[in-house]
Amino acid sequence: MIRISSSLVENLIQEVESIPEETCGFLLGKTTENENNVLHYKPVANVSTQNRSKHYVIDPKDYLRTEAFSIETQTALIGIYHTHLDWPAIPSETDRLAAFPNVSYVIISLRQLRFSEIKSWRLNDTNQFLEEKIHIITQ
Protein backbone atom coordinates (compact mmCIF):
# COMPACT_ATOMS: atom_id res chain seq x y z
CA MET A 1 0.00 0.00 0.00
CA ILE A 2 1.13 3.53 -0.63
CA ARG A 3 -0.10 6.55 1.24
CA ILE A 4 -0.15 9.97 -0.29
CA SER A 5 -1.76 13.25 0.71
CA SER A 6 -4.63 14.59 -1.36
CA SER A 7 -2.87 17.91 -1.91
CA LEU A 8 0.18 16.16 -3.33
CA VAL A 9 -1.97 14.08 -5.67
CA GLU A 10 -3.87 17.18 -6.78
CA ASN A 11 -0.66 19.01 -7.59
CA LEU A 12 0.71 16.04 -9.46
CA ILE A 13 -2.47 15.61 -11.50
CA GLN A 14 -2.64 19.30 -12.31
CA GLU A 15 0.92 19.16 -13.52
CA VAL A 16 0.55 16.07 -15.72
CA GLU A 17 -2.72 17.28 -17.22
CA SER A 18 -0.86 20.12 -18.87
CA ILE A 19 1.57 17.87 -20.73
CA PRO A 20 0.33 16.39 -24.03
CA GLU A 21 2.74 13.46 -23.94
CA GLU A 22 3.59 10.68 -21.50
CA THR A 23 5.21 12.28 -18.54
CA CYS A 24 7.16 10.64 -15.77
CA GLY A 25 8.90 11.12 -12.48
CA PHE A 26 9.76 9.69 -9.11
CA LEU A 27 7.92 9.33 -5.83
CA LEU A 28 9.97 9.72 -2.66
CA GLY A 29 9.06 9.38 0.98
CA LYS A 30 9.33 7.35 4.12
CA THR A 31 8.83 3.64 4.28
CA THR A 32 7.81 1.37 7.10
CA GLU A 33 7.29 -2.35 6.88
CA ASN A 34 3.82 -2.30 5.33
CA GLU A 35 3.43 1.27 4.28
CA ASN A 36 5.08 3.65 1.94
CA ASN A 37 4.32 7.28 2.62
CA VAL A 38 4.92 9.46 -0.40
CA LEU A 39 6.17 12.88 0.67
CA HIS A 40 7.52 14.34 -2.59
CA TYR A 41 7.25 13.78 -6.26
CA LYS A 42 10.03 14.72 -8.62
CA PRO A 43 9.12 15.17 -12.27
CA VAL A 44 11.79 14.37 -14.83
CA ALA A 45 11.97 14.69 -18.60
CA ASN A 46 10.68 12.01 -20.92
CA VAL A 47 13.69 11.45 -23.18
CA SER A 48 12.14 8.76 -25.37
CA THR A 49 13.15 9.08 -28.99
CA GLN A 50 10.03 7.19 -30.07
CA ASN A 51 6.50 8.60 -30.12
CA ARG A 52 6.39 10.31 -26.71
CA SER A 53 2.62 10.21 -26.49
CA LYS A 54 2.99 6.45 -26.15
CA HIS A 55 6.40 5.91 -24.58
CA TYR A 56 8.54 7.27 -21.84
CA VAL A 57 12.20 6.83 -21.01
CA ILE A 58 13.91 8.34 -18.01
CA ASP A 59 17.42 9.65 -18.51
CA PRO A 60 19.76 7.49 -16.39
CA LYS A 61 21.41 10.66 -15.11
CA ASP A 62 18.07 11.86 -13.77
CA TYR A 63 17.70 8.47 -12.15
CA LEU A 64 21.10 8.78 -10.47
CA ARG A 65 20.39 12.34 -9.34
CA THR A 66 17.14 11.19 -7.78
CA GLU A 67 18.84 8.37 -5.90
CA ALA A 68 21.46 10.85 -4.69
CA PHE A 69 18.71 13.24 -3.64
CA SER A 70 16.95 10.49 -1.71
CA ILE A 71 20.14 9.68 0.18
CA GLU A 72 20.71 13.36 0.91
CA THR A 73 17.20 13.90 2.20
CA GLN A 74 17.07 10.53 3.92
CA THR A 75 14.00 9.53 2.02
CA ALA A 76 13.35 6.36 0.06
CA LEU A 77 12.70 5.96 -3.61
CA ILE A 78 9.19 4.53 -3.37
CA GLY A 79 8.16 4.48 -6.96
CA ILE A 80 8.01 5.79 -10.47
CA TYR A 81 4.97 7.45 -11.94
CA HIS A 82 4.03 7.90 -15.56
CA THR A 83 0.94 8.86 -17.52
CA HIS A 84 -1.03 6.89 -20.06
CA LEU A 85 -2.82 9.05 -22.60
CA ASP A 86 -6.29 7.74 -23.50
CA TRP A 87 -5.40 4.34 -22.13
CA PRO A 88 -6.35 2.82 -18.76
CA ALA A 89 -4.08 2.99 -15.73
CA ILE A 90 -3.12 -0.62 -16.27
CA PRO A 91 0.48 -1.56 -17.02
CA SER A 92 1.07 -2.54 -20.61
CA GLU A 93 3.22 -5.47 -21.64
CA THR A 94 5.88 -2.87 -22.52
CA ASP A 95 5.66 -1.59 -18.95
CA ARG A 96 5.89 -5.09 -17.52
CA LEU A 97 8.90 -6.14 -19.56
CA ALA A 98 10.81 -3.02 -18.54
CA ALA A 99 9.79 -3.15 -14.89
CA PHE A 100 12.00 -3.69 -11.85
CA PRO A 101 11.02 -5.33 -8.60
CA ASN A 102 10.71 -3.58 -5.27
CA VAL A 103 9.39 -0.24 -6.50
CA SER A 104 5.84 0.91 -7.13
CA TYR A 105 4.74 1.84 -10.61
CA VAL A 106 2.05 4.48 -10.38
CA ILE A 107 0.10 5.06 -13.57
CA ILE A 108 -2.09 8.10 -14.11
CA SER A 109 -4.57 7.71 -16.93
CA LEU A 110 -5.66 10.85 -18.76
CA ARG A 111 -8.57 11.01 -21.19
CA GLN A 112 -8.24 13.99 -23.50
CA LEU A 113 -5.72 15.33 -21.00
CA ARG A 114 -8.23 15.15 -18.16
CA PHE A 115 -7.55 12.94 -15.17
CA SER A 116 -9.43 9.66 -15.33
CA GLU A 117 -7.82 7.26 -12.85
CA ILE A 118 -4.69 6.55 -10.84
CA LYS A 119 -3.44 3.08 -9.93
CA SER A 120 -0.32 1.64 -8.38
CA TRP A 121 1.36 -1.64 -9.31
CA ARG A 122 4.21 -3.80 -8.07
CA LEU A 123 5.89 -6.83 -9.59
CA ASN A 124 5.41 -10.13 -7.78
CA ASP A 125 7.83 -13.06 -7.74
CA THR A 126 6.60 -14.39 -11.05
CA ASN A 127 7.09 -11.00 -12.72
CA GLN A 128 3.40 -10.17 -12.91
CA PHE A 129 2.08 -6.79 -11.88
CA LEU A 130 -0.20 -6.79 -8.86
CA GLU A 131 -2.27 -3.75 -8.07
CA GLU A 132 -1.62 -2.19 -4.67
CA LYS A 133 -3.88 0.14 -2.80
CA ILE A 134 -3.33 3.88 -2.91
CA HIS A 135 -4.51 5.45 0.29
CA ILE A 136 -5.19 9.14 -0.25
CA ILE A 137 -5.09 11.11 2.96
CA THR A 138 -7.15 14.26 3.29
CA GLN A 139 -5.85 16.76 5.76
Partner 1 sequence: MATIFIPTPLRKFTANAAKTEIEAQTIKSLLEELSIKFPELKRYLYAPDGKIPSFINIFVDEEDIRNLDMENTQVKKESVVSIVPAIAGGIDDITFTKGELARYNRHIIIPEFGLEAQKKLKKSKVLVIGSGGLGSPLLLYLAAAGVGTLGIVDFDVVEDSNLHRQVIFGVSELGIPKVEAAKKRLLEINPYIQINVYNERFTKENAMRLIGDYDLVADGTDNFPTRYLVNDACVLSNKTNVYASIYQFEGQVSVFNYQANGVFGPNYRDLYETPPPPGLVPSCAEGGVLGVLPGIIGSLQALEVLKVITGIGEVLSGKLYTFDALSFQSRTFKVGRKKSNPLNGENPSIKELIDYEEFCSVGKIESKIKEISAEEFRELLEKEEDFQLIDVREPHEFEIANIGGELIPLGTIISQGEKIERDKKVVVLCKVGGRSEKAIRALEEQFGFSNLYNLKGGIIHYLNTFHPEMETY
Question: Which residues between 50 and 79 bind partner 1 (CB under 8 A)?
Answer: 51, 54-58, 60-61, 63-64, 67, 70-71, 76-77
**Is residue 12 within 8 Å of residue 108, measured between CB atoms?**
yes
Q: Kindly tell me which of 4 and 107 has the beta carbon lying closer to partner 1.
A: 107
Strands ordered across the beta sheet of 134-137: 129-132, 114-123, 104-111, 76-85, 24-31, 36-44, 2-5, 134-137
Question: Total residues at the site for partner 1 (CB under 8 A)?
Answer: 41
Q: Which of 6, 7, 94, 111 binds partner 1 (CB under 8 A)?
A: 94
Question: Which span sits near partner 1 by CB under 8 A: 6-14, 33-41, 91-99, 111-119?
Answer: 91-99
C-alpha distances (whole Å) from 74 to each of 15, 24, 58, 62, 68 are 25, 22, 22, 18, 10
For residue 31, the Cα-to-chain-centroid distance in whole angstroms is 16
Q: Reduce the DSSP state of residue 1 to 3 states and report it.
A: coil
Q: Kindly tell me which of 9 and 110 has the beta carbon lying closer to partner 1.
A: 110
Question: Which residues between 110 and 129 bind partner 1 (CB under 8 A)?
Answer: 124, 126, 128
**Is residue 111 within 8 Å of residue 86, measured between CB atoms?**
yes
Q: Does 29 bind partner 1 (CB under 8 A)?
A: no
Where along the sequence are the contacts to partner 1 (CB under 8 A)?
Answer: 22, 24, 48, 51, 54-58, 60-61, 63-64, 67, 70-71, 76-77, 80, 82, 84-85, 87-88, 91-95, 98-103, 105, 124, 126, 128, 130-131
